[in-house]
Structure 1
Amino acid sequence: MSRHRYTFKPTPLTQALVAALIALPFASAHAQTAPDNLGTVQAGAEGGSGQTAAEREQAKQASAVHQAPTQGSLKAGQPQSIINQHYIENTQAPTANYSEIVSIAPSVVDIEPNGPGLGNSKELSIRGFQDGQYNLTWDGVPVGDSNDFTHHSAEYFMPQDIGQVIVDRGPGNASTVGYATFGGTIALLTKEPLDKPQTTLYGSVGSFGTRMLGAEFDTGVMKNYGDMRAFIDYRQLQSDGYLTGANIERKNLFIKAEKPIGDDSLLTFVSMVNRNSGSNAAIVGATSAPYVAVNNGKPPYTSTLPGQIQKFGPNYGLSSNPLSQAYTGYNYDDFQTDFEYLGLKSRLGGVQIDNKFYTYAYYHSGWNGLDPNGGGCDYGQVNCLSPDGTFPAGADTPNGTVNGASNIPGQHMYLNYRNWGDILRLKQQIGPGTLNYGVWLNYQTYHRYNSEIDFSDNQAWNATGIYPNGISKAVDRLINGTFTTAQPYIQYDWNLTPQLQLRGGLKYAWFQRHDNAPVEQKTKKPLDYTQTWSKVLPAVELHYAIAPNWSAYAQVAKGYLAPNENLFYIPNPQTGANSVEPEQTTNYQVGTTWRSQELTVSGDLYAIDFTNQVQSRTVAGQKYFYNAGGVKYRGAEIEATYYVGGGFSLYGNAAYNQAKQDSDGLQLAGVPKTTGAAGLIYNRGPWYASLIAKYIGSNYGDIGTDAGGKSVGIYAIPSSTILNASLNYTVQDAGFVPHGTKIGVQLFNLTNNTKINSLAGYTGGNVPLFYTNAGRSVMVNFSVPFQ
Structure 2
Amino acid sequence: MTISARRSRACITVPALALVMALTGQSAHAADGVPPPPAPAPNDIAEGSDIVVTGTKANEIAPVTASLRATQPASIVSRSFIEDSLPASADFNDIALISPSVANTGGENGVGLNESKMTIRGFQDGEYNITYDGVPFGDTNGPTHHSNTFFPSNTVETLVVDRGPGNASQLGESTYGGNMNLFSRETRADRSIELKGAYGSFNTYLLRGLLQTGAIDKLNGTEAVISAQYIKTDGRLSLSGYNQKNVFGKVVIPLGNDVHLSLLSTYNKNHFFQPDKNGVTLAQQAIYGKYYNLNNDPTSQSYWDYNKTTKTTDFEIAKLDAEIRPGTTFVNTAYTYYYDNETLSGSSATALPVSAGGPQQTVTLSPGAKAVSGVPGYTKTNKYRVWGDIPKVRFDLGFGALTAGVWIEEANTFRQQTDVDLVTGNFNYVEKVVKGANTPQYVKFNQNSGFSHAEEFVELELRPLQGLTITPGYKHVDFNLKIDAKYNQTTRIPQDISQNYRKDLPFVTVNYAVTPRLSVYGQFAKGMALPILGDLYVNNPNLSSIQPQTSTNYQTGAVYHGERLSLDADLYYIKINNKIQQETVIDDTNTAQTAYFNAGRVLYKGIEGQATYVLAGGFAIFANGSLNYAKEAGTHNPVSNAPKGTAAAGLLYKHGPIRFSLIDKWTGPQYATTEALDPTQTFFVLQRSVRISPYNDTVLSASYQWRNLRFGLNVTDLFDSRKVENLNLSGSGPSGNAAHGVNQTSDQFYYQPGRQISGDITVKF
User: Which residue of structure 2 aligns with residue 244 of structure 1?
Assistant: 238
Q: Give per-residue Cα distances to partners, 1:560-597, cap 9 Å, x unaligned.
A: 01111111111111221xx1110000000000101122
| TM-score, reference length from structure 1 | 0.85
Please show how residues 329-728 of structure 1 align to structure 2 within 5 Å: 329-349=305-325, 350-372=327-349, 374-377=350-353, 381=355, 386-387=357-358, 398-403=360-365, 404-463=371-430, 472-576=440-544, 579-619=545-585, 622-703=593-674, 711=686, 714-728=689-703
- The verdict on how the C-alpha distance between 1:169 and 1:464 changes in structure 2, with shifts beyond 3 A counting, is closer
Q: Quick one: distance in 2 between partners of 1:398 and 1:775?
A: 34
For the 8 Å contact 2:158–2:183, the answer to whether it is kept is yes
Q: Quick one: distance in 2 between partners of 1:712 and 1:548?
A: 53
User: Could you say what secondary structure the match of 1:224 adopts?
Assistant: helix
Amino acid at match of 1:77: T
- The verdict on how the C-alpha distance between 1:742 and 1:432 changes in structure 2, with shifts beyond 3 A counting, is same
- The verdict on how the C-alpha distance between 1:142 and 1:61 changes in structure 2, with shifts beyond 3 A counting, is closer
Amino acid at match of 1:435: L
Q: Quick one: distance in 2 between partners of 1:134 and 1:341?
A: 22
User: Could you say what secondary structure the match of 1:181 adopts?
Assistant: coil
For the 8 Å contact 1:283–1:318, the answer to whether it is kept is no
- Report the CA distance between 1:245 and its aligned residue: 1.7
Pick aligned residue for 1:116 from 90, 111, 117: 111
Amino acid at match of 1:519: Y
- The verdict on how the C-alpha distance between 1:659 and 1:263 changes in structure 2, with shifts beyond 3 A counting, is same
- Report the CA distance between 1:477 and its aligned residue: 0.9
- Report the CA distance between 1:187 and its aligned residue: 0.4
User: Which residue of structure 2 aligns with residue 780 of structure 1?
Assistant: 759
Q: Quick one: distance in 2 between partners of 1:398 and 1:430?
A: 75
User: Could you say what secondary structure the match of 1:316 adopts?
Assistant: coil
- Report the CA distance between 1:61 and its aligned residue: 11
Amino acid at match of 1:723: T
Amino acid at match of 1:315: Y
| TM-score, reference length from structure 2 | 0.87
User: Could you say what secondary structure the match of 1:329 adopts?
Assistant: helix
Q: Quick one: distance in 2 between partners of 1:469 and 1:358?
A: 40
Question: Which moved further from structure 2: 760-769 or 471-480?
Answer: 760-769
- Report the CA distance between 1:767 and its aligned residue: 2.0
User: Could you say what secondary structure the match of 2:362 adopts?
Assistant: coil
Q: Quick one: distance in 1 between partners of 2:76 and 2:632?
A: 31
- Report the CA distance between 1:192 and its aligned residue: 1.0
Pick aligned residue for 1:258 from 252, 259, 264: 252
User: Which residue of structure 2 aligns with residue 392 of structure 1?
Assistant: none
Q: Quick one: distance in 2 between partners of 1:316 and 1:169?
A: 36
For the 8 Å contact 2:540–2:593, the answer to whether it is kept is no
Question: Which moved further from structure 2: 721-730 or 463-472?
Answer: 463-472
Q: Aligned residues, how many? A: 691
Pick aligned residue for 1:317 from 289, 293, 313: 293
- The verdict on how the C-alpha distance between 1:284 and 1:728 changes in structure 2, with shifts beyond 3 A counting, is same
Q: Is 1:228 matched up with 2:228? A: no
Question: Which moved further from structure 2: 461-470 or 501-510?
Answer: 461-470
Q: Quick one: distance in 2 between partners of 1:47 and 1:494?
A: 27
Q: Quick one: distance in 2 between partners of 1:464 and 1:77?
A: 53
User: Could you say what secondary structure the match of 1:524 adopts?
Assistant: coil
User: Could you say what secondary structure the match of 1:110 adopts?
Assistant: strand
For the 8 Å contact 2:29–2:55, the answer to whether it is kept is no
User: Which residue of structure 1 aligns with residue 94 of structure 2?
Assistant: 100
Q: Quick one: distance in 2 between partners of 1:164 and 1:661?
A: 35
Please show how residues 24-63 of structure 1 align to structure 2 within 5 Å: 45=28, 63=57
Pick aligned residue for 1:269 from 263, 266, 269: 263
Q: Quick one: distance in 1 between partners of 2:592 and 2:302?
A: 30
For the 8 Å contact 1:476–1:521, the answer to whether it is kept is yes
- Report the CA distance between 1:617 and its aligned residue: 2.0
- Report the CA distance between 1:311 and its aligned residue: 2.8
- Report the CA distance between 1:462 and its aligned residue: 3.5
User: Which residue of structure 2 aligns with residue 77 of structure 1?
Assistant: 71
For the 8 Å contact 1:375–1:398, the answer to whether it is kept is no
For the 8 Å contact 2:673–2:686, the answer to whether it is kept is no
User: Which residue of structure 2 aligns with residue 20 of structure 1?
Assistant: none
* Stretches of structure 2 lacking an aligned partner (at least 5 in a row): 1-20, 32-53, 366-370, 586-590, 677-683, 733-742
Q: Quick one: distance in 2 between partners of 1:663 and 1:376?
A: 41
* Stretches of structure 1 lacking an aligned partner (at least 5 in a row): 1-37, 49-59, 289-306, 388-396, 734-738
Q: Quick one: distance in 2 between partners of 1:180 and 1:481?
A: 19
For the 8 Å contact 1:489–1:508, the answer to whether it is kept is yes
User: Could you say what secondary structure the match of 2:93 adopts?
Assistant: helix
Amino acid at match of 2:575: D
**In percent, how many aligned pairs have the same letter?**
32
For the 8 Å contact 1:331–1:367, the answer to whether it is kept is yes
Q: Quick one: distance in 1 between partners of 2:206 and 2:27?
A: 39
Amino acid at match of 1:313: G
- Report the CA distance between 1:763 and its aligned residue: 8.9
- Report the CA distance between 1:618 and its aligned residue: 3.4
Question: Which moved further from structure 2: 445-454 or 60-69?
Answer: 60-69
Amino acid at match of 1:228: T
Amino acid at match of 2:421: D
User: Which residue of structure 2 aligns with residue 152 of structure 1?
Assistant: 146
Amino acid at match of 1:597: E
Q: Quick one: distance in 2 between partners of 1:479 and 1:710?
A: 34
- The verdict on how the C-alpha distance between 1:704 and 1:339 changes in structure 2, with shifts beyond 3 A counting, is closer
Q: Give per-residue Cα distances to partners, 1:295-353, cap 9 Å, x unaligned.
A: xxxxxxxxxxxx32233222111222211111111111000000001101101124211
Q: Quick one: distance in 1 between partners of 2:257 and 2:188?
A: 20
User: Which residue of structure 1 aligns with residue 169 of structure 2?
Assistant: 175
Q: Quick one: distance in 2 between partners of 1:630 and 1:171?
A: 18
Question: Which moved further from structure 2: 219-228 or 666-675?
Answer: 666-675
Q: Quick one: distance in 1 between partners of 2:455 and 2:248?
A: 29
Amino acid at match of 1:628: A
Amino acid at match of 1:137: T
Q: Quick one: distance in 1 between partners of 2:757 and 2:30?
A: 39
- The verdict on how the C-alpha distance between 1:727 and 1:618 changes in structure 2, with shifts beyond 3 A counting, is same
Please show how residues 191-230 of structure 1 align to structure 2 within 5 Å: 191-230=185-224
For the 8 Å contact 1:66–1:86, the answer to whether it is kept is no
Q: Quick one: distance in 1 between partners of 2:27 and 2:173?
A: 43
